Amino acid sequence: MQLTIDKTRLERALQHLVAFTDRKDLANIASHVCLEAKNGGLRLEANDLEMGLCLHLEADIVQEGSATFNAKHFLDIASKLENGDLSLEADADFVHVRFKRSKFKLPLFDRNDFPAFPSHDNLPFLHFSDTTLGEHFKKLVHVIKTNASKYEFGGVLMVLKDRLELAATDTRRLSLVQMDADNIPEQALMTEYILPKRAMLEISKLFENDFDMFYEPKDPSMLFFKNEEMLLYSKLIGGKYPNYEAIFPKQFAHTFDLEAQNFKEAIQITSALSPTTKIIFYPERIEFESLENESPSFASTSIEAKTPLEGFELQVHARHLLDAINALNTPTFELSLNQSTDPFLVEKDGFKTLIMPFVS
pLDDT, tens only, 66-102:
999 888 888 898 888 899 999 999 998 899 999 988 9
Number of structural domains in the chain: 3
Same structural domain, 241 and 337: no
Of 113, 133, 148, the residue that ends a domain is 113
Q: Residue 29 sits in which domain range?
A: 2-113
pLDDT, tens only, 310-320:
999 999 999 99
Of 80, 113, 146, the residue that ends a domain is 113
pLDDT, tens only, 206-233:
998 899 999 998 889 999 999 999 999 9
Q: Are 298 and 273 in contact (CB under 8 A)?
A: yes
DSSP character for 316?
E
Same structural domain, 194 and 287: no
pLDDT, tens only, 234-287:
999 998 888 988 999 999 999 999 999 999 999 999 999 999 999 999 999 999
Same structural domain, 138 and 240: yes
Kindly state whether residue 118 falls inside one of the protein's structural domains: no
Same structural domain, 255 and 239: no
Same structural domain, 236 and 129: yes
Same structural domain, 265 and 216: no
* Separation of alpha carbons 313 and 324, rounded Å: 19
* Separation of alpha carbons 199 and 209, rounded Å: 16
Instruction: Assign residue 211 the CATH number of its domain.
Output: 3.10.150.10
Q: Are 65 and 1 in contact (CB under 8 A)?
A: yes
Phi-psi group of 354: left, alpha or beta (phi > 0 → left; psi -120 to 50 → alpha; rest → beta): beta
> What number is the average pLDDT over the span 1-24?
92
Report the range out of 19-23, 181-185, 328-332 with the highest average pLDDT: 328-332
Of 223, 246, 269, the residue that ends a domain is 246
* Nearest of 184, 134, 124 to residue 159 by alpha carbon: 184
φ, ψ for residue 65, nearest 5 deg: 160, -170
DSSP character for 349?
T
Kindly state whether residue 234 falls inside one of the protein's structural domains: yes
* Separation of alpha carbons 277 and 117, rounded Å: 49
Segment (H or E) for 8: helix 7-17
Q: Are 92 and 268 in contact (CB under 8 A)?
A: no
Same structural domain, 156 and 222: yes
Give the least confident one: 49-63, 283-297, 334-348: 283-297
Query: Residue 293: which pLDDT band, with cuts at 50, 70 and 90?
Result: confident
* Nearest of 17, 6, 62, 11 to residue 37 by alpha carbon: 62
**What residues pair up with 336 in beta bridges, in sequence order?**
255, 345
- Alpha-carbon distances, residue 94 vs 104, 107, 269, 299, 354 (angstroms): 10, 4, 58, 63, 55
Kindly state whether residue 360 falls inside one of the protein's structural domains: no
